[in-house]
């Protein structure tokens, strides 16, 4: 993976295209919460030549607050859909790209794939993977486990409304999967 600065993103993509990496494969986002206060945008390009195709992976980081990056839609038309998806799900604005909603309600201001985003259904419902077929709620052999990546309810979900919202660092520190889920009171 080649890391590119956000300011050089579009120029690096154009240079890769000119170098023969003309097949757009994928563009997506990664929330780097707990490691840094950034979102990572990853791009996979391929050079289709005789023999085994070569793969080039470019990545850049943008700040969580005010995440903006130049659109590569002028280089790869197929990137428009991927950019719209990353914009809605991670909150990254692609400058010069399409702003039409793709998946979410146009009035939604959420970015559901950010790790600090509280998804009510994940906090309110049991994790579907906690039981095997045929087991019941009364089964004494299974402890209720929190799914991996779901923060402690005291930090996320069932947080005391009198407390200020949890910071991304608090959410990241509390997101330890496999712990026993304590009953809510």
**Does 34 lie in the same domain as 87?**
yes
- Rounded CA-CA distance 86/77 in Å is 15
**Does 85 lie in the same domain as 123?**
no
Taking the chain (185 residues) in runs of 10, the rounded mean pLDDT of each run is: 96 97 96 90 93 93 94 95 94 91 80 80 59 50 61 75 82 64 51
**Residue 122 Rama label (left phi>0; alpha psi -120 to 50; beta):** alpha
Cβ neighbours, 10 Å, residue 116 = 21
**Domain CATH for 10:** 3.30.460.80
Q: Tell me if 85 sits within 8 A of 103, measured CB to CB.
A: yes
Q: Tell me if 89 sits within 8 A of 113, measured CB to CB.
A: yes
pLDDT score recorded for residue 52: 84
pLDDT score recorded for residue 151: 73
Phi, psi of 124 (to 5 degrees): -95, -25
What domain range is 168 assigned to?
Answer: 115-131+139-185
Would you say how long the chain is, in residues? 185
**Does 74 lie in the same domain as 10?**
yes
Q: Total structural domains in the chain?
A: 2
**Does 90 lie in the same domain as 153?**
no
**Does 75 lie in the same domain as 31?**
yes
**Does 86 lie in the same domain as 12?**
yes
Q: Is 107 part of a structural domain of the chain?
A: no
- Rounded CA-CA distance 57/70 in Å is 17
pLDDT score recorded for residue 33: 87
**Does 67 lie in the same domain as 10?**
yes
**Does 56 lie in the same domain as 21?**
yes
**Does 125 lie in the same domain as 82?**
no
Phi, psi of 24 (to 5 degrees): -80, 125
Q: Is 100 part of a structural domain of the chain?
A: no
């Amino acid at each position: 993976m080649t890391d590119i600065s956000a300011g050089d993103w579009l120029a690096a993509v154009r240079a890769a295209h000119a170098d023969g990496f003309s097949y757009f494969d994928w563009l997506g986002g990664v929330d780097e919460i707990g490691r840094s206060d950034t979102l990572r945008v990853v791009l996979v390009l391929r050079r289709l030549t005789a023999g085994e195709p070569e793969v080039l992976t470019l990545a850049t980081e943008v700040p969580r607050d005010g995440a903006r990056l130049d659109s590569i839609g002028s280089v790869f038309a197929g990137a428009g859909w991927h950019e719209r998806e990353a914009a809605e799900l991670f909150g990254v604005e692609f400058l010069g790209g399409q702003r039409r909603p793709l998946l979410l309600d146009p009035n939604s201001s959420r970015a559901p794939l950010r790790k600090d985003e509280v998804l009510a259904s994940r906090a309110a419902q049991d994790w579907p993977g906690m039981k095997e077929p045929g087991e019941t709620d009364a089964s004494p052999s299974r402890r209720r486990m929190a799914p991996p990546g779901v923060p402690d309810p005291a930090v996320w979900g069932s947080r005391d409304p009198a407390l200020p919202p949890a910071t991304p660092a608090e959410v990241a520190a509390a997101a330890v999967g496999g712990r026993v889920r304590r009953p809510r009171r």
